Amino acid sequence: MMTRLLLAIVYLAAPLTQDRADVPLEVEPGDPSASKVVLLAGGFSKGGGEHEYFAGSALLLKLLGQTPGVAPVMAAEGWPKNEKIFDGAKAVVFYMDGGGKQPFLTPERLGLIEKLAAKGVGIVHLHQVIDYPKAQTERVLPLLGGVYVPQASARGHWDGDFKDFVEHPATRGVQPFKENDGFLYKLRFVEGMKGITPLLRTSPKGGLTGSEDVVSWAYARPDGGRTFVFTGCHLQESWGLEGMRRFVTNGILWSAGLEVPAGGAPVALEPDALKRHLDPMPLKK
């Protein structure tokens, strides 16, 4: 609670327009042989340390860049200005609002995502982008392996205590971490959980069992591609947890079909990085 209060003070003291000139957007990798990972950062949501999609994606831009041979490329407002940025991508990371606010919910854009997946491109969903309109859940389920279903699934805030990890490339080198986050759970998964490897489980008061408490998973898709989902990542401060940073970075690398180092991906973070590129606090009406 104290950390969130301090973050709010920082945001209130910050100018309404944050300087983001140092974040390169839609810049093609200088090395054409590097493995491109496209990061799609959602537009402004809440500010105040919640749903900091731009700031969080800017962190991922730096984290992924620490792995040799990986070239992350970031686009803002949930979709690139130039769709050519998807050419040659090994994975696409979606970090943005859900609930029908996804800017790619048009027939043309969804069709493009499906074409990328059919080529084996990795698909990554972070936080509540997994919440699709009910009319779209059947369409996206084969791409994601699991989806939030309106009026059936649930969401809430609690302390997720992650200390027991299954053996998977996404968990390599991941130290136990505990985060207060906003999780989406009670999700709908593909029949029989075929191709699904549950990676993280948590629930309010630990009361759920089976697939209902799964909040992160890896999915070996029928098309041969890979999908990684983590419904956490609600709070900007959670990126300060080394275990979470490594877990998400590992998952993205795995989705891209890349080898995750035995000790996990490097995820060094500068002390003040969490306070950069934040959305301003919304003015009270």
Report the pLDDT value the prediction gives residue 144, as an integer from 0 to 100: 98
CB 271 within 8 A of CB 265: no
- What does each of the 285 residues of the chain score in pLDDT, given as a tens digit? 444 444 444 444 444 345 788 899 999 999 989 999 999 999 987 778 999 999 999 999 999 999 999 999 999 999 999 999 999 999 999 999 999 999 999 999 999 999 999 999 999 999 999 999 999 999 999 999 999 999 999 999 999 999 999 999 999 999 999 999 999 999 999 999 999 999 999 999 888 889 999 999 999 999 999 999 999 999 999 999 999 999 999 999 999 999 999 999 999 999 899 999 998 866 555
Report the pLDDT value the prediction gives residue 154, as an integer from 0 to 100: 95
Report the pLDDT value the prediction gives residue 208, as an integer from 0 to 100: 86
Domains, the chain: 2-275 (3.40.50.880)
Buried b (16+ CB within 10 A) or exposed e, 112-126: bbeebbeeebbbbbb
Report the pLDDT value the prediction gives residue 40, as an integer from 0 to 100: 98
pTM strictly above 0.85 = yes
Report the pLDDT value the prediction gives residue 9, as an integer from 0 to 100: 44
